[in-house]
């Protein structure tokens, strides 16, 4: 099975930064769900679109400026792929993926991060989007589906390793003009998936995710 990594969490939890660094260091394809959501009420629809993309290898960009569907894109399902965004980690999507990550962070820090980045665009929609996150979490329980549950502070810390294996920009990035929202939930404390040792560090987990996505490790 070709490696597919789902990175999920509520808004402002650190998904974007983690996904960007993993894609940069492994050369994996990267699809951000900000390019899929059909508008500010589209979290559930965007989640279903991930299922379709993982099945067909095709996805259609949402044009946020004109509030309408735009051009189609393709991903190579024979190559490593990262999908990042709230709604990525559902039972249906996890069945089609290799691993799922859920980032947790306290609500105050998440909101501060998200609005510092996208305040003018995002602030009027914060409560509406948060309600959709609540509904998604209640419906799918993504934290329980995750193979790794990680404190969102770690994705902003110097603990994430630099590497000489920088593959540059050979990963798919969402087109300009899509809101750069990330998402998350939690109490701000590290938690670990079943069977994961309590001594596991962010560095350890990052190394495992890199190894999963490293194209050199994929069987031809």
Q: How many domains does the chain have?
A: 1
Helix H segments across the chain? Answer: 15-26, 43-56, 91-94, 107-122, 126-140, 142-145, 202-213
Domain assignment present for 219: no
Coil, helix or strand at residue 32: strand
Instruction: Tell me the C-alpha distance between 180 and 99, whole Å.
Output: 23
CATH number of the CATH domain containing 74: 3.40.50
Domain assignment present for 220: no
- Interval 31-90: pLDDT, tens: 999 999 999 999 999 999 999 999 999 999 999 999 999 999 999 999 999 999 999 999
Domain assignment present for 105: yes
**Does the predicted model carry a pTM greater than 0.75?**
yes
CA 53 to chain centre: 15
Which pLDDT belongs to residue 77? Answer: 96
Phi then psi for residue 99, to 5 deg, are: -160, 150
- Interval 108-138: pLDDT, tens: 999 998 999 887 889 999 999 999 999 999 9
Domain assignment present for 73: yes
Cα dihedral: 183, 188, 193, 198 (round 10): 150
Residue-number span of the structural domain to which 165 is assigned: 4-214
Cβ atoms of 75 and 32 closer than 8 Å = no
- Interval 18-48: pLDDT, tens: 999 999 999 999 999 999 999 999 999 999 9
- Cα angle 107, 62, 56; round to 5: 100
């Amino acid at each position: 099975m070709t490696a597919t990594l789902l990175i999920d969490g509520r808004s402002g939890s650190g998904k974007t930064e983690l996904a960007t660094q993993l894609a940069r260091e492994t050369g994996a394809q990267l699809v951000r769900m900000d390019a899929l959501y059909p508008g500010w009420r589209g979290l559930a629809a965007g989640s279903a679109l991930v299922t379709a993309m993982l099945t067909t290898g095709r996805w259609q960009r949402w044009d946020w400026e004109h509030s309408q569907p735009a051009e189609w894109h393709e991903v190579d399902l024979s190559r490593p792929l990262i999908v990042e965004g709230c709604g990525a980690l559902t039972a249906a999507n996890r069945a089609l993926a290799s691993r799922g990550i859920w980032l947790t962070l306290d609500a105050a820090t998440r909101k501060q991060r998200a609005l510092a980045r996208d305040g003018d665009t995002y602030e009027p929609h914060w409560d509406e989007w948060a309600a959709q996150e609540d509904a998604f979490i209640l419906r799918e329980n993504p934290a329980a589906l995750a193979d790794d549950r990680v404190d969102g502070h770690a994705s902003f810390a110097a603990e994430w390793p630099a590497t000489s294996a920088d593959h540059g920009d050979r990963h798919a990035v969402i087109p300009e003009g899509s809101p750069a929202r990330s998402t998350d939930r939690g109490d701000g404390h590290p938690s670990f998936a079943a069977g994961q040792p309590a001594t596991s560090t962010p560095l350890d987990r990052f190394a495992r995710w890199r190894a999963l996505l490293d194209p050199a490790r994929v069987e031809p």
